[in-house]
Amino acid sequence: MDREIKEKIKYLLYPRSVAVIGASRNPRKIGFQVVYNLIKDGYKGRIYPINPNADEILGLKCYPNILDAPDDIDLAMIVVPASKVLNVLNEVVRKKVRSVAIISSGFSELGKKDLEDAIVNICREHKIPLLGPNIVGIINTNNNMNLSFCPHLPFKGKITFITQSGALAIGLIGWTWASRIGISKLISIGNMAMIGFEELIEFLEEDRDTEAVLLYIEGVKNGRLFAEVSKKVSRKKPLIAIKAGKSLRGAKAAASHTGSLAGNVMLYETAFKYAGIVSADGLEDGFDKALALSLQPPLYGDNLVVVTNGGGAGVLSSDYAEKFGVPLKDLPKDLVNAVKELIPPFGSPNNPIDLTGNAYRDDYIRVLDTVFRHPWVDGVVSIYVHAAITDPVEIADGIAQVWRNYRDKPITVCMIGGREVQVANIWLRDNGIPVYPTPRRAISAMAALRQYGLFLERERGNGGMVRNKEISS
Amino acid sequence: MNIERVREILDRAYEENRKTLYEYEAKEIADIVGIPTPKHIFIEDLESLDTDKISFNEPYVIKIVSPQVIHKSDVGGVVVNISREQLEEAIKKMIDTVKSKVANASIKGVLIEEMADKGVETIVGYIRDPQFGPVVMFGLGGIFVEVYKDVSFRLAPLSMEDALSMVKEVKAYKILSGYRGIPPSDINKISDVITRIGDLGYKFPEIREIDINPLVAYPDRVLALDVRIILGGDYG
């Protein structure tokens, strides 16, 4: 893709001025929702509603044509019907707008490929990046830009979510608040007529507001390019992919064994592996892994320790650790002896360390500190099963306090107790610690940190320790 | 690698409008790129066959070469364990059998090979995918591939290290590392074949698919008993 177009992608996400072409006074129209959401959520740029039949929309002066707007426009968001998009686009070009996004549908997804191609050609000719058509919009929590018909901004954080399904974007916003999953940007890419996963991932490589990129993929434009770009970006920040849509294409067309076995899903998984992309099994798993990878350092080395106050949760962790490729090992003798001093005689000083149900905040602190401090230990999963005598918020605070001193080693936490541990969960997440309701999910998140750590170790041709070192390409 | 010669073989197939290379052509390409094959000789003019002049030892395997026959063994186009003495007779019989099963089969000739020892049967494959480009595959032969689809893939070209990790990734890897009296197989040589097949496909976009099935693995070597190369990538 043209370099000038690539360089302008930033205007899609960080525009200083937005024109909404097809802005409306009718609250039931998307042209209203988009302007309303920009204002309501506090977008930190200038807004220019464009509509020939209105003087004012939501207190903002409205212009009959984008050419009348008294300002440079970084981003034109088009919401007029598909049949009017070409006319509007010609005006956008004359205005020398820096980037274009189209919410309107009625293009290739309805068989109107010619119309879509015509739009792409105009944008390409004038070196304007085009997002869409057929998108929900663009959301950036860093400049409070809700340029979409999603009801409100997601919970703010460091995950950028690129989705091929617009409805998923809308649906997940409430979830990000309920689970405190921090989102940096939410980008709906619709028909990917020009800008697709490949270009956005490459842009995000240098984006300081993004620590992890989560992808919901049905199909990419160019698999090989996607793999190459992702591999380059993975060296700097983790990518997580949810692949949907299973195809039998491979099985039909093939004349060889290899061809019949190389189905769509298999090849995507192969490309993910090549690129260091952490593959996720559905939405929940995707966000679980993205959360851990956006908050925690990778797991370098595979000496994982589980610290729990409940035996059953420990046994389950042990099973899942093996299943997800980070099997628990016996601890070094000196560490076992040190832990033994700190726990009751009926606890277990070896991996998983069982503090027993009598463990209070100070017990967690002492044991976690001893474990984190030991050079053999690479990462920790800390489990709390709610008990009648202990306060989960106290425990959570204790865990957060210890980890603050060992930020180069990753931690994930499991808090079992549902409503009883809600406040503790919020406390942990606000302190940068990913927390999950089951051992399975806490271990799976840690395994994702290991998968990414392993990728980085291999990329640097160095099986040894790379902890504490700046990640660079 | 003698790229010119590989190019010649592919071009000839293209001119003759053949999508699948003859096995002797595929084996020649295998030899060129450094993938070991059994000793073999292609006999085009069967009248002039002088069995005494075959330089390698019996027993032999004979295979039909015909543009109409793609799945040779399904139509009696592969016969194994033949002595030098039986060779002429066996060839005649095989041709009759094939002709009785495939009415319009034109016989291009016969491939005579040294019969290989038993070993662990693996499959090495290649496909140029429209989305992902060159991809290699590895698996163990028989039920492991057919029933369990126990295979691993990588994008090509790939490093020796990547190829080794592919071999170790399949669930049936235990069998290659030595299992119940089966000696360990030479996984370095298997990995070497995988990288070579990936390089070959990468260099020649007109190759759409390659199957080495089986690639037989021994403790100290490997042997590609059957090589299929299918064209149609960028030739359309």
**Which residues, in sequence order, are bridge partners of residue B61?**
B113
Question: Is the residue at B76 inside a domain?
Answer: yes
Q: Pick A262's closest partner by Cβ from B129, B213, B230.
A: B129
B230 to chain A: which residues are within 8 Å by CB?
255-256
Q: What is the per-residue pLDDT for B53?
A: 82
B145 to chain A: which residues are within 8 Å by CB?
257, 261
Touching check for A66 and chain B: CB below 8 Å? no
Question: Is the residue at B23 inside a domain?
Answer: no
Domain finish residue from B115, B143, B158: B115
Check pLDDT > 70 for residue B67.
yes
Q: What is the per-residue pLDDT for A205?
A: 97
CA distance B125 to chain A (A): 5
Predicted confidence band at B145 (pLDDT cuts at 50, 70, 90)? confident
Neighbours of B157 (CB within 10 A): 17
Residues B133 and B172 in one domain: yes
Q: What is the per-residue pLDDT for B234?
A: 53
Domain around B214:
120-231
Question: Is the residue at B204 inside a domain?
Answer: yes
CB contact (8 A) between residue A262 and residue B123: no
A267 to chain B: which residues are within 8 Å by CB?
129, 131-132, 135, 153
CB contact (8 A) between residue A258 and residue B127: yes
Of A365, A339, A360, A359, the closest CA to residue A351 belongs to A339
Q: What is the per-residue pLDDT for B180?
A: 84
CA distance A4 to chain B (A): 26
Residues B110 and B132 in one domain: no
Touching check for A324 and chain B: CB below 8 Å? no
B208 to chain A: which residues are within 8 Å by CB?
255, 259
Residues B129 and B213 in one domain: yes
Question: Is the residue at B236 inside a domain?
Answer: no
Residues B48 and B140 in one domain: no
Asked if residue A147 lies in contact with residue A38, where contact means CB atoms within 8 angstroms, the answer is yes
Touching check for A45 and chain B: CB below 8 Å? no
Q: State how far the Cα of B177 lies from the Cα of A446, in Å rounded to an integer.
A: 30
**Burial letters for A315-333: b for 16+ Cβ neighbours within 10 Å, e otherwise?**
ebbbebbeebebebeebee
Q: In a mutagenesis test of the A interface, which of B128, B155, B169 is the best target, namely the one with the most A β-carbons within 10 Å?
A: B155
Place of tokens 């076995």: A261
Q: Pick A254's closest partner by Cβ from B19, B155, B209.
A: B209
User: What would the two tokens of residue B25 be?
Assistant: 């052509």
CB contact (8 A) between residue B211 and residue A257: yes
Q: Pick A271's closest partner by Cβ from B126, B145, B155.
A: B155
CA distance B71 to chain A (A): 11
Q: State how far the Cα of B38 lies from the Cα of B29, in Å rounded to an integer.
A: 13
* Geometric angle at alpha carbon A394, from A391 and A397, rounded to 5°: 150
Q: What is the per-residue pLDDT for A463?
A: 44
* Geometric angle at alpha carbon B160, from B157 and B161, rounded to 5°: 110
Check pLDDT > 80 for residue B146.
no
Residues B59 and B92 in one domain: yes
Q: In a mutagenesis test of the B interface, which of A258, A265, A267, A273 is the best target, namely the one with the most B β-carbons within 10 Å?
A: A258
Domain finish residue from B82, B115, B148: B115
CB contact (8 A) between residue B149 and residue A267: no
Question: Is the residue at B26 inside a domain?
Answer: no
B20 to chain A: which residues are within 8 Å by CB?
255
Check pLDDT > 90 for residue B92.
yes
Q: State how far the Cα of A293 lies from the Cα of A388, in Å rounded to an integer.
A: 33
CB contact (8 A) between residue B153 and residue A270: yes
Touching check for A254 and chain B: CB below 8 Å? yes
Cis omega (within 30 of 0) for bond into B219 = no
Residues B97 and B138 in one domain: no
Asked if residue A189 lies in contact with residue A164, where contact means CB atoms within 8 angstroms, the answer is yes
Residues B184 and B97 in one domain: no
Domain finish residue from B85, B115, B145: B115
Place of tokens 């195809």: A247
The whole-number average pLDDT for the span B8-21 is 93
Higher pLDDT, B72 or A203: A203
Domains of chain A, CATH where assigned:
3-210 (3.40.50.720), 298-459 (3.40.50.261)
CB contact (8 A) between residue B129 and residue A223: yes
**Burial letters for A273-292: b for 16+ Cβ neighbours within 10 Å, e otherwise?**
bbbbbbbbeebebbbbbbbb
Q: What is the CATH number of the domain that holds B70?
A: 3.30.1490.20
CB contact (8 A) between residue A222 and residue B131: yes
CB contact (8 A) between residue A271 and residue B126: no
Question: Is the residue at B199 inside a domain?
Answer: yes
CA distance B151 to chain A (A): 8
Q: Pick B127's closest partner by Cβ from A220, A223, A262.
A: A262
Question: Is the residue at B46 inside a domain?
Answer: yes
DSSP annotation of A390: -
Question: Is the residue at B155 inside a domain?
Answer: yes
Q: What is the per-residue pLDDT for B73?
A: 86
B135 to chain A: which residues are within 8 Å by CB?
262, 267, 270
Residues B185 and B225 in one domain: yes
Q: State how far the Cα of A302 lies from the Cα of A327, in Å rounded to an integer.
A: 8
Touching check for A221 and chain B: CB below 8 Å? no
CA distance B179 to chain A (A): 23
Q: In a mutagenesis test of the B interface, which of A192, A257, A268, A273 is the best target, namely the one with the most B β-carbons within 10 Å?
A: A257
Give DSSP secondary structure letters for A343-373.
Answer: S-TTSB-SSSEE--TT--HHHHHHHHHHHHH
Q: What is the CATH number of the domain that holds B131?
A: 3.30.470.20
| Mean pLDDT (10-residue bins), chain A, 473 residues | 94 98 96 97 97 95 96 97 96 97 94 96 98 97 96 96 90 90 96 96 97 94 94 97 70 57 81 96 94 97 97 96 97 97 95 95 97 98 94 96 97 95 94 97 98 93 46 34
Residues B129 and B196 in one domain: yes
Q: Pick A261's closest partner by Cβ from B131, B151, B208.
A: B151
Per-residue 3-state assignment (H helix, E strand, C coil) for chain B:
CCHHHHHHHHHHHHHCCCCECCHHHHHHHHHHHCCCCCCEEEECCHHHCCHHHCCCCCCEEEEEECCCCCCHHHHCCEEEEECCCCHHHHHHHHHHHHHHHCCCCCCCEEEEEECCCCCEEEEEEEEEECCCEEEEEEEECCHHHHCCCCEEEEECCCCHHHHHHHHHHCCCHHHHCCECCECCCCHHHHHHHHHHHHHHHHHCCCEEEEEEEEEEECCCCEEECCEEEEECCCCC
Kindly report, residue by residue over B178-226, the tens digit of the pLDDT.
888 889 999 999 999 999 999 999 999 999 999 999 999 999 999 999 9
Touching check for A79 and chain B: CB below 8 Å? no
Q: Pick A258's closest partner by Cβ from B133, B137, B155.
A: B137
Count residue pairs from A and B with Cβ separation < 8 A. Answer: 72
Q: What is the per-residue pLDDT for A156?
A: 96
Place of tokens 């040294």: B114
Q: What percent of chain B has pLDDT over 70?
A: 98
Residues B83 and B165 in one domain: no
Predicted confidence band at B235 (pLDDT cuts at 50, 70, 90)? very low
CA distance B169 to chain A (A): 12
Number of compact structural domains in chain B: 2
Q: State how far the Cα of A116 lies from the Cα of A102, in Å rounded to an integer.
A: 11
As to burial, measured by CB atoms within 10 angstroms (0-12 exposed, 13-18 middle, 19+ buried), residue A139 is buried
Residues B44 and B134 in one domain: no
Touching check for A225 and chain B: CB below 8 Å? no
Q: State how far the Cα of A91 lies from the Cα of B150, in Å rounded to an integer.
A: 57
Q: Pick A258's closest partner by Cβ from B20, B133, B211.
A: B211
Residues B214 and B150 in one domain: yes
Residues in chain B whose Cβ is within 8 Å of chain A: 19-20, 123, 125-127, 129, 131-133, 135, 137, 139, 145, 149, 151, 153-155, 208-211, 213, 228, 230
Q: Pick A261's closest partner by Cβ from B137, B155, B208.
A: B137
